A and B are shown apart, each in its own frame.
Chain A
Amino acid sequence: MLDADVEVDRREFTVRVALQVASGERLALFGPSGAGKTTLLEAVAGLVQPRRGRISLGDRILTSTAPPVRAIPPWQRRVGLLRQDPGLFPHLSVRDNLCYARSAPRSEAELSSLVSVLGIDGLLTAMPARLSGGQAHRVALGRLLLAQCDTLLLDEPYTGLDASLRRSLTDLVSSLVAERSVPSILVTHELTDAQAFADRLAVLDRGEVLQVGAPNELVLRPASRRVAELIGYLGFVPSGDAMAGVHPERVVAGAFADRGLVLTGTVVAFRPAGAGWEADLRVGEETITFRLLDRPPSPEEQLVFTALNPPYFGADGNAISPARVTSGHTRPEQVH
């Protein structure tokens, strides 16, 4: 169990986070750039000193600003940190990189079994400069695993890698975390990466955790308008005395009052996107982005569409129950 309750001062704001990650649990920290995600990982790793707080890992207290004061140095923490730059030692071969930590087992059998799980057989004598991005990440991951770290912190490790490689590395990390039963945290600003990895998702913005929950719960029921914006709700339209959040992927063409909020809008712009098209619709004062899969829209076309089971937000920005929206057309129990 990793337990962190810290306040770390940064130039613009203070990062205030209290999180617990159980052994074998995978938590994704999701938020925009500069939200303080990396700062939190660095505090756990002992690279930055919190102004106030307590961090414990298993039965070891790593940081405590209250008496008895503790600040275990990074080299005694057994915290594995994998960053976007794999950070392989360029003067050492892949084998020497893997076995760098003194805590790494010296048994050839363990090394070779990990090497084959990671899919880096045949690279042991190569120098890091010869590796592709994906191979370098696998070696860096293997190095952390061989170092017998008690927790695995992944700081946007897959940025710059292609989607299929990200997916296979995510699956690999997930299975290894489960096997080793260590707590792990993935920091990312890509929601799909967070969803693919995590049991639990925490949304961080300007140093504060806005919401923690199961990945789908957060996407379908954001607790506030800010969380909705961060998670990809691109439009907000008035509905009665509330605002309904419209997610471009949770919109269907046509009027289905029993499935959500029916809206009418005028196409103001469109472009190819993914397997279909993306159109910007003007709905009253608001602009809604909407994915069409079957045909490109025409300019100035009037489209009737349904925002599926949208979340509603009150004037203060907090989510309110659809039942309390005075003229919403929703059936909240129905989720498609």
Chain B
Amino acid sequence: MSAWVSVVGAGVIWLALLGPVIALLTHLSGNAIANALTAPGALDPLVTSVESGLVTLGVLFVLCTPLAWMLARGRLPFPRVWETGVLCSLLLPPLVIGLLLVFMVGPYTPIGQLLAHLNQSATNTFLALVIAEVYESAPYYVLGAQAAFASVEPRLEQQAGLLGDRPRRVFRRVTLPLAAPGLAMALSIAWARAMGAFGAVIIIAYHPAGLPLQIYTTLQETGLASALPYALVLLVVALPLPLAAYIWSARAGRRRRG
């Protein structure tokens, strides 16, 4: 009896969470989807979003994984100060981050001028889009990866060391494989944030438009009916990666349990 109650309760909550998706599906017509997808250049934002999302994940993995590991292992002096820094970037609304990024990497800043020297710009370019997506998703990745590393028993790393592995080898053979399921989850959350990034993007990377911006501009120019199909596209394109991460994590857990 109580098992049924909890299943029904979970079902109600699940449907409530899915409410917007259900609303999306019920307000779409085949015609609208066909029109939206066949318009000239309609799929360019899709490609831009996927490309910038993948580059963002690469940047996060390379730059933020070591930080997360050091936070998890207490390798940094004054750890609360470092954590507070990560939380600050999490707490700022993305729109504000976008505005502040203008002060940081805009054309009249030292960084902007340095980029100009290299014939690059961090406003309204693919680079700007990646920067905006990195800033919107990094804290989620750092906190998730920190938790993933914290779940790895330090005694195991110590044991691997005593068995003759240098720290770098211990990281590759023990720490990384054991943290991998958690890292995959953290990456999928970061991916979702990057794909949906809008607040900072609209300020510093109006061009080239990714999917969220395409939805917004279409809404402005031609109305809700023609904007909604792109929301479906966003879902369909963004879903496989986190889904694969979930399946892979569950498999890794099952394999460990034998």
Contacts and interface: CB of A to CB of B under 8 A. Distances in A.
Interface of A: 45, 47, 73-81, 83, 85, 87, 89-91, 100-103, 126-127, 129-130, 143-144, 147
Nearest to A146: B163
5 contacts: A75-B165, A83-B155, A85-B155, A91-B178, A147-B164
B155 A80 contact: no
A45 B167 CA distance: 15
B117 interface: no
A73 B161 CA distance: 9
Query: Which 9 residue pairs spanning A and B have beta carbons closest together?
Result: A127-B258, A130-B258, A101-B163, A87-B159, A74-B161, A75-B161, A91-B177, A129-B257, A90-B256
A47 B154 CA distance: 12
Nearest to A103: B164
Contacts of A83: 155
B174 A77 contact: no
Contacts of A91: 177-178, 252, 255-256
A320 to B, nearest CB: 45
B257 A102 contact: no
Nearest to B166: A75
A90 B258 CA distance: 10
Interface in B120-166: 153, 155-156, 158-166
A177 to B, nearest CB: 18
A116 to B, nearest CB: 22
A114 to B, nearest CB: 15
A143 B163 contact: yes
A330 to B, nearest CB: 49
B222 to A, nearest CB: 52
B168 to A, nearest CB: 10
Interface in B214-258: 252, 255-258
Query: Chain B: interface secondary structure?
Result: helix
Contacts of B256: 90-91, 127, 129
Interface residues of B, number: 22
Given A91-B252, A91-B255, A126-B258, 18 more contacts: A45-B162, A73-B166, A75-B164, A75-B165, A89-B156, A90-B156, A90-B178, A90-B256, A91-B177, A101-B164, A127-B256, A127-B257, A130-B257, A130-B258, A143-B163, A144-B163, A147-B163, A147-B164
Contact of B162 (A77, A102, A129, A130): A77
Interface string B171-201: 0011001100000000000000000000000
B258 A129 contact: yes
A127 B255 contact: yes
A110 to B, nearest CB: 17
B64 to A, nearest CB: 23
B163 A100 contact: yes
Contacts of B252: 91
A126 B174 CA distance: 18
Contacts of B162: 45, 74-75, 77, 79-81
Contacts of A129: 256-258
A129 B255 CA distance: 10
B179 to A, nearest CB: 10
B164 A81 contact: no
A100 B170 CA distance: 11
Given A127-B257, A129-B257, A74 B177 contact: no
B131 to A, nearest CB: 35
A102 B165 CA distance: 8
A45 B161 CA distance: 10
B164 A102 contact: yes
A94 B55 CA distance: 38
A99 to B, nearest CB: 10
A83 B165 CA distance: 18
Given A90-B256, A127-B256, A129-B258, A81 B166 contact: no
Contacts of A77: 162
A77 B162 CA distance: 7
A143 B156 CA distance: 13
B160 A100 contact: yes
A72 to B, nearest CB: 12
Contacts of A147: 163-164
B160 A89 contact: yes
B160 A47 contact: no
Contacts of B160: 89, 100
A74 B155 contact: no
B158 A74 contact: yes
A140 to B, nearest CB: 8
Contact of A78 (B155, B164, B258): B164
Contacts of B155: 83, 85, 87
B164 to A, nearest CB: 5
Nearest to A85: B155
Nearest to A96: B173
Contacts of B178: 89-91
Contacts of A87: 153, 155-156, 158-159
A79 B173 CA distance: 20
A80 B160 CA distance: 11
A75 B178 CA distance: 20
Contacts of B177: 91
Contacts of B167: 75
A205 to B, nearest CB: 26
